[in-house]
């Protein structure tokens, strides 16, 4: 070693540099092995959580290398390790260049790229952890990784890792704080192997007792869940990100370009077909459909099919509001189903430097609200792109998409597990008054396409529809009210028939539903409503899509299954566009949309779970009470948000109102605190109550009692600050308290109370 050092010093530049390095003080190492082990545990959990959330395998190499590096750092913590530091710096530069290269291919969503960089830096950093603040960097990286995993996670598989991270973080923070204070744990001898060789283990401080840490962890988790559930979700107040699968992640060789629509579930003699003549089992023509695919996602649908789907999750949606994820629209009724009569589509291309498509949109006089939705595909779907109504922008991984005549989006590639895209919809708000006053004159193109009905059933269906409308207590003449009334009538007077027989070729579905079976399959209700509206001159079409699915309050995602697919009726209103109605029993009359946004949605989910344990009368009473409270709170928050975002006048008004409310809250809090304190004093023994009131008075004047001071020491310390009369009262009350507290001698309350009043009246006199 001495020869090598001498050789370095022969070169003037390196010799001077080496002498300066040697002159630097050695770093003060962190000797707590337990702290190092816990920090390494945090890092490992963060790496594994990122792998679980992003479905990667970085932990296979990162965790072992990180453990090797941490072990090396422990044994070399008192060395300078100059050569190792130089190599690590070079390796970090390589990681930086690799990160920049990956960044340009993942500009749409950089979270995973940043996480990969952090993991690489942490692995390198683990070989150089001599000091406590070096361990602090590792703790910060572990925290960032668990945060990134939380944003990437779409399932509850992340929850156990989060709990493990919290369980490790508590003792880590305790040990880190003790190290900062210089509290070195004592070491206890536990055994001897040979002479002058003893194994030493640190004794754990009481702060690290298992019972205490478990209680703190339970309190943190409980408080965190309560805050999480109580936070209001105000529309439009979410962070907007636009994740989309990168084009280089999509293996186009495995996905040949599709012309038209291809539903992979349709099979005829073992081959995929796209004629859509069957669904959910076997149709009258022998066509079969895989029981995991919805029959309606095709250019033609045969509603004479019988069968049941096997439920499975097909996608997860992160959206600012629940909605009906629309897929397709149909204009032509065939008697047994529907078809899209116009095959022409408009092609929309995106620029090469962006994943954003600007989609054509129909003008509307209705107020609209922008809703951002991100779709993560979990199971194979047809090449039709689900989105909320009126999408205006689409972030998608193909170079082009198509928009058909019924406002549906088509991809040139099928959707597979792992695909991600984002849609921004300009959703029209449903105003019953406006739509009720909409014009009832339609242009020729609307009448030609959306009033079509087979002539063989037109007169009979029209007569039945008019008979139903005539039953209303007041005349129903405008299209919007007619659609509402007919949808509600179908819900109440017709039933779902799970054992409905297959119809003959000459039978019409709508006729059989209304006059023969008084019901049918769920989607038959929407078909019947559509044809009934057409029969009285109201333009309507059938639309199929997926319901919102089940909202997971822990992930913030809507988990959508194939069994959530169903059909609705869309009615056209001039100047306002298309609005959906749902006549299926058990569904809401109006499909979910932005009007149904739940400000306290997570708390609402939790309430539904708790309310299931109560009897019906109690549940209904509590639902009415708390429902009114949360509805008022939600409307108030939305009103405040709209006020703040309505311009400068609204902003200033909102700030003034917020300041006024804050002042009233502060004043009310003070009054409540004083009242609670007075109640507490009233429950104390008389002498202790007088003494505590004296302490409160002196504290308010700037002379609080230190916990280590005895009552008499405190009274002595006050002598320079008060005149003799005040000091006499302080000494007398303090002496009486000491005699009562420690000697069992009780002074008359009637003697002490005047002394306290005298002290209060003369408290302004200082010595």
Model confidence at 65, in pLDDT bands (50, 70, 90)? Answer: very high
d(C-alpha 233, C-alpha 599), whole Å: 5
Which H or E element spans position 176? helix 158-180
* pLDDT tens-place string over residues 370-427: 888 899 999 888 989 999 999 999 999 888 999 999 989 999 888 888 888 999 999 9
CATH (domain of 426): 3.10.620.30
21, 168: one domain? yes
Average pLDDT over every residue of 483-498: 92
Model confidence at 451, in pLDDT bands (50, 70, 90)? Answer: very high
Average pLDDT over every residue of 510-536: 93
Long-range contacts of 166-170 (CB under 8 A, 24+ apart): 166/217, 166/220, 166/221, 167/213, 167/217, 168/38, 168/41, 168/42, 168/45, 169/42, 170/213, 170/216, 170/217, 170/220
Q: What residues pair up with 421 in beta bridges, in sequence order?
A: 375
Question: How is residue 213 written in tokens?
Answer: 């840490």
pLDDT over 60 at 182, yes or no = yes
155, 178: one domain? yes
Question: How is residue 594 written in tokens?
Answer: 């932005």
The reply to whether 271 falls in a domain is: no
481, 576: one domain? yes
Q: Are 175 and 39 in contact (CB under 8 A)?
A: no
The reply to whether 247 falls in a domain is: no
Final residue before a domain boundary, out of 569, 597, 625: 597
Question: How is residue 691 written in tokens?
Answer: 């003494």
Q: Are 617 and 607 in contact (CB under 8 A)?
A: no
- Higher pLDDT pick, 653 / 404: 404
Average pLDDT over every residue of 38-49: 93
Number of neighbours of residue 62 by Cβ within 10 angstroms:
22
C-alpha pair distances (Å), 371 with each of 118, 205, 389, 470, 643: 32, 53, 10, 39, 20
Residue-level pLDDT at 716: 86
Average pLDDT over every residue of 202-219: 80
d(C-alpha 279, C-alpha 309), whole Å: 10
525, 418: one domain? yes
The reply to whether 652 falls in a domain is: no
> How many contiguous H segments (helices) and E segments (strands) does the chain have?
22, 25
Question: How is residue 505 written in tokens?
Answer: 């070729």
pLDDT over 70 at 480, yes or no = yes
From the list 573, 597, 596, 533, the residue with the least C-alpha distance to 434 is 573
Residue-level pLDDT at 54: 82
d(C-alpha 544, C-alpha 324), whole Å: 9
Q: Are 765 and 723 in contact (CB under 8 A)?
A: yes
Q: Are 323 and 593 in contact (CB under 8 A)?
A: yes
Residue-level pLDDT at 504: 85
Final residue before a domain boundary, out of 565, 597, 629: 597
Phi–psi pair at 537, nearest 5 degrees: 85, 20
Residue given tokens 């602090």 in the structure block: 136
Q: Is 507 left (phi over 0), alpha (psi -120 to 50) or beta?
A: beta
Q: Are 280 and 301 in contact (CB under 8 A)?
A: no
The reply to whether 149 falls in a domain is: yes
The reply to whether 282 falls in a domain is: no
Residue-level pLDDT at 268: 42
Q: Are 423 and 375 in contact (CB under 8 A)?
A: yes
d(C-alpha 369, C-alpha 323), whole Å: 13
Residue-level pLDDT at 526: 95
- Higher pLDDT pick, 578 / 153: 578
Residue-level pLDDT at 284: 39
753, 691: one domain? yes
Highest mean pLDDT: which range of 151-155, 174-178, 274-278, 603-607? 174-178
d(C-alpha 580, C-alpha 596), whole Å: 14
Residue-level pLDDT at 200: 43
Three-state SS for 427?
A: strand
DSSP string spanning 146-164?
A: HHHHHHH--STTHHHHHHH
Residue-level pLDDT at 158: 82
Within 13 Å of residue 395, how many CA atoms lie on the same side as its CB?
A: 22
Highest mean pLDDT: which range of 21-30, 162-171, 550-559, 620-629? 162-171
Model confidence at 466, in pLDDT bands (50, 70, 90)? Answer: very high
d(C-alpha 234, C-alpha 636), whole Å: 10
The reply to whether 441 falls in a domain is: yes
389, 500: one domain? yes
- Higher pLDDT pick, 17 / 737: 737
591, 731: one domain? no
Average pLDDT over every residue of 597-605: 60
Residue given tokens 């996608």 in the structure block: 315
Q: How far is CA 765 from the centre of its chain?
A: 59
**pTM of this prediction?**
0.68
Model confidence at 619, in pLDDT bands (50, 70, 90)? Answer: low
User: For the chain, first and last CA: distance in Å?
Assistant: 73
Q: What residues pair up with 266 in beta bridges, in sequence order?
A: 289
Mean residue pLDDT of the chain comes to 81
Question: How is residue 148 written in tokens?
Answer: 């990134």
pLDDT over 80 at 198, yes or no = no
- Higher pLDDT pick, 638 / 264: 264
C-alpha pair distances (Å), 704 with each of 694, 714, 728, 729, 734: 10, 9, 18, 17, 14
C-alpha pair distances (Å), 481 with each of 399, 437, 527: 43, 10, 18
- Higher pLDDT pick, 742 / 167: 167
* pLDDT tens-place string over residues 319-332: 878 889 999 999 99
Q: How far is CA 64 from the centre of its chain?
A: 32
The reply to whether 290 falls in a domain is: no
Question: How is residue 160 written in tokens?
Answer: 């156990």
Question: How is residue 49 written in tokens?
Answer: 């959580």
744, 635: one domain? no
8, 109: one domain? yes
434, 525: one domain? yes
pLDDT over 80 at 191, yes or no = no
The reply to whether 294 falls in a domain is: no
Residue-level pLDDT at 18: 59
Within 13 Å of residue 491, how many CA atoms lie on the same side as its CB?
A: 16
692, 584: one domain? no
Final residue before a domain boundary, out of 184, 215, 236: 184
Q: Are 672 and 721 in contact (CB under 8 A)?
A: no
The tally of domains found in the chain comes to 4
593, 610: one domain? no
pLDDT over 60 at 727, yes or no = yes
* pLDDT tens-place string over residues 87-112: 988 999 998 888 888 777 666 667 78
Residue-level pLDDT at 270: 40
Lowest mean pLDDT among 211-225, 274-288, 348-362, 538-552: 274-288
Model confidence at 24, in pLDDT bands (50, 70, 90)? Answer: low
Q: Are 381 and 262 in contact (CB under 8 A)?
A: no
- Higher pLDDT pick, 497 / 230: 497
pLDDT over 90 at 269, yes or no = no
Residue-level pLDDT at 703: 85
Residue-level pLDDT at 612: 62
pLDDT over 80 at 736, yes or no = yes
Residue-level pLDDT at 475: 85
Residue 638's domain spans which residues?
Answer: 606-644
Phi–psi pair at 247, nearest 5 degrees: -65, -30
């Amino acid at each position: 070693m001495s020869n090598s050092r001498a050789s370095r010093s022969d070169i003037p530049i390196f010799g001077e540099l080496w002498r300066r390095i040697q002159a630097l003080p050695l770093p003060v190492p962190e000797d707590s092995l337990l702290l190092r082990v816990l920090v390494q545990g945090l890092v490992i959990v963060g790496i594994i959580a990122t792998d679980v959330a992003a479905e990667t395998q970085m932990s296979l190499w990162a965790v072992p290398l990180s453990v090797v590096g941490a072990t090396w750092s422990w044994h070399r913590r008192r060395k300078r390790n100059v050569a190792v530091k130089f190599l690590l710096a070079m390796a970090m530069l390589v990681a930086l260049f690799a990160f920049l290269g990956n960044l340009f291919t993942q500009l749409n969503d950089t979270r995973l790229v940043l996480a990969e960089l952090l993991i690489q830096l942490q692995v390198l950093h683990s070989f150089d952890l001599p000091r406590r603040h070096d361990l602090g960097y590792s703790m910060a990286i572990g925290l960032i990784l668990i945060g990134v995993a939380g944003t990437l996670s779409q399932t509850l598989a992340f929850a156990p890792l989060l709990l493990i991270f919290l369980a490790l973080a508590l003792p880590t923070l305790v040990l880190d704080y003790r190290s900062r204070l210089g509290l070195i744990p004592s070491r206890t001898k536990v055994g001897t192997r040979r002479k002058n060789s003893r194994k030493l283990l640190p004794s754990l401080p009481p702060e690290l007792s298992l019972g205490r840490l478990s209680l703190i962890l339970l309190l943190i988790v409980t408080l965190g869940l309560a805050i999480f559930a109580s936070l209001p979700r105000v529309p439009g107040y979410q962070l907007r990100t636009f994740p989309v699968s990168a084009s280089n992640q999509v293996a186009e060789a495995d996905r040949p370009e599709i012309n038209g629509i291809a539903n992979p579930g349709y099979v005829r003699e073992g081959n995929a077909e796209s004629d859509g003549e069957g669904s959910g089992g076997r149709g009258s023509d022998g066509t079969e459909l895989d029981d995991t695919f919805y029959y309606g996602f095709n250019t033609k649908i045969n509603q004479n099919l019988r069968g049941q789907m096997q439920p499975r999750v097909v996608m997860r949606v992160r959206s600012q509001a629940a909605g009906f994820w629309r897929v397709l629209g149909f204009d032509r009724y065939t008697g047994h189903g529907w078809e899209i009569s116009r095959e022409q589509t408009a092609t929309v291309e995106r620029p090469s430097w962006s994943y954003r498509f600007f989609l054509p949109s129909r003008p509307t006089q209705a107020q609209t609200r922008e809703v951002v939705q991100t779709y993560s595909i979990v199971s194979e779907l047809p090449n039709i792109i689900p989105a909320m109504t009126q999408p205006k922008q689409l972030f998608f991984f193909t170079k082009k998409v198509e928009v058909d005549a019924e406002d549906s989006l088509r991809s040139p590639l099928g959707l597979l597990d792992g695909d991600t895209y984002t849609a921004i919809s300009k959703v029209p708000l449903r105003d019953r008054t406006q739509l009720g006053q909409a014009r009832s004159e339609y242009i020729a193109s609307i009448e030609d396409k959306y009033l079509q009905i087979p002539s063989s059933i037109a007169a009979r269906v029209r007569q039945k529809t008019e008979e139903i409308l005539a039953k209303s207590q007041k005349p129903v003449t405008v299209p919007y009210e007619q659609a509402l009334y007919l949808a509600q009538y179908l819900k109440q007077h017709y039933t779902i028939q799970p054992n409905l027989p297959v119809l003959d070729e000459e039978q019409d579905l709508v006729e059989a539903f209304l006059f023969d079976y008084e019901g049918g399959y769920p989607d038959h209700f929407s078909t019947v409503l559509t044809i009934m509206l057409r029969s009285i001159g109201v333009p309507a079409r059938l639309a199929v899509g997926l319901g919102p699915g089940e909202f997971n309050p822990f992930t913030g995602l809507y988990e959508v299954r194939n069994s959530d697919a169903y059909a609705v009726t869309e009615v056209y209103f001039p100047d306002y566009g298309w609005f959906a109605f749902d006549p299926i029993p058990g569904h809401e009359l109006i499909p979910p949309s932005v009007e149904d946004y739940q400000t306290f949605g997570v708390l609402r989910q939790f309430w539904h779970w708790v309310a299931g344990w109560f009897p019906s009368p109690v549940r209904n009473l509590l639902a009415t009470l708390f429902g009114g409270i949360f509805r008022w709170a939600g409307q108030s928050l939305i009103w405040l948000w709209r006020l703040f975002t309505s311009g400068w006048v609204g902003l200033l008004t909102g700030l003034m109102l917020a300041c006024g409310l804050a002042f009233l809250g502060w004043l009310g809090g003070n009054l409540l605190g004083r009242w609670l304190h007075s109640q507490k004093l009233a429950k104390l023994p008389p002498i202790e109550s007088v003494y505590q009131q004296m302490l409160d008075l002196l504290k308010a004047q700037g002379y609080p009692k230190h916990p280590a001071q005895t009552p008499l020491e405190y009274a002595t310390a006050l002598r320079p600050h008060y005149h003799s009369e005040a000091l006499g009262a302080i000494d007398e009350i303090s002496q009486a308290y000491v005699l009562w507290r420690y000697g069992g001698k009780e002074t008359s309350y009637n003697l002490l109370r005047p002394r306290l009043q005298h002290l209060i009246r003369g408290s302004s006199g200082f010595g």
